[in-house]
Amino acid sequence: MKHRAEGEYRDIPIAPFIDDEIDTHTEQWNSIPVTFKDKAGKDRQLDVFFAPRERGKGTMPTATTYGYHFKKACRAAGLVDVSGKPKYTPHSLRHFFASTALANGIPIHEVSRWLGHKSIKTTVDIYGHLVPGAWHRCREVMQSAMRPVPVDVPSEAPQTPEGYDEVA
């Protein structure tokens, strides 16, 4: 996944079935090579799946281009509200990823790194309420770590009192 600065990338975990879907998609559809000038004015080429309508004219796809195709895909999949407007945006996927990971115990510092936040404070401010409460988990951890261990003391006392029969 591209990062904020030119040439910086980060990896994010994805579900294996999504990885399979991407492989299937790339086997069926060819990417489109787009040549563009970077901020330094150097020619760069990137293979993309969503290109501007002027394919191959040297214009990099923008967030608007991606958003257009995303909305089109939502409509085609029937993911629309009662007025026909797409229910989701590309940013919805980001929020789904972060909130699902945090609600299921993934450490917030890992999620913050995957989201590309420069500070974990950003992640805490936006998603901190989704981190599962640690009160009961901490009590269980402390109980397990600190509880007295039963001592098994060998005894020479008879297992049954003398003068009594064993219970049948």
pLDDT value, residue 92: 93
- Do 10 and 113 meet the contact criterion of CB atoms below 8 Å apart? yes
Contacts with 63 (C-beta within 8 Å, 6 or more apart), sequence order? 90
Q: What is the pTM of this model?
A: 0.66
Counting as low any pLDDT under 70, the low residues of the chain are 1-7, 50-61, 157-168
For residues 34 and 48, the answer to whether their CB atoms sit within 8 Å is yes
pLDDT digits (tens, 9 = 90+) for 90-134: 999 999 999 999 988 899 999 999 999 999 999 999 998 888 787
Domain ranges within the chain, ordered by starting residue = 48-78, 89-141
Give one DSSP letter per residue of 84-95, joined into a string: S-BS--HHHHHH
Question: Rounded to an integer, what distance in angstroms lies between the CA atom of residue 67 and that of residue 94?
Answer: 14
Report the pLDDT value the prediction gives residue 69, as an integer from 0 to 100: 87
Q: What pLDDT score was predicted for residue 95?
A: 94
Q: Which residues contact 48 (CB under 8 A, 6 or more apart)?
A: 31, 32, 34, 61
